[in-house]
Amino acid sequence: MRKLVSSGSPLEEPIGFSRACRVGNMISVSGTAPIDNGETTCVGDVYGQTKYCLELSIRAIEEAGGKPTDIIRTRIMLTDISRWEEAAKAHGELFSAIKPACTFVEVSRFINPAWLVETEIDCVLEKV
């Protein structure tokens, strides 16, 4: 069975994606940008944007039937890798107890130039 989760992002329909997709015991969360009610949140703040994106992703995971302890991998994409420690602080606050595999990468830009961060998360549920 396939379960799709929407966050209400205005980009979901035109692009044709879901915030999260669950198949069996796996949940994948799409690239999550710092968008709140159609507007960029925490402008200029890598820490704030990272925390917002990760928390939005966790809500999608929970809606799909998962929990934070099911997270096995996170990806943090930044437009300026020299600011990785700001993103790492937010990541550590949320995940220091579960310590998922994590990758930080620099990208040239996102759809909206005000976005400094985008995140992705993968989960494996212990029980289906």
Q: 39: helix, coil or strand?
A: strand
Can you give the pLDDT at residue 86? 99
pLDDT confidence of residue 128: 63
Give yes or no for a contact between 119 and 46, defined as CB atoms under 8 angstroms apart: no
pTM, 2 dp:
0.94
pLDDT at 126: 87
Angle at 51 between CA 122 and CA 91, to 5 degrees: 60
Q: How far apart are CA 61 and CA 4, in angstroms?
A: 10
Q: Domain 2-124: which topology?
A: 60s Ribosomal Protein L30; Chain: A; (3.30.1330)
Taking the C-alpha atoms of residue 42 and residue 104, their distance in angstroms, rounded to an integer, is: 20
- Average confidence (pLDDT) per 10 residues, the chain, 128 residues: 88 91 97 93 98 98 97 99 99 98 98 98 89
Cα dihedral across residues 73, 47, 18, 95: positive or negative: positive
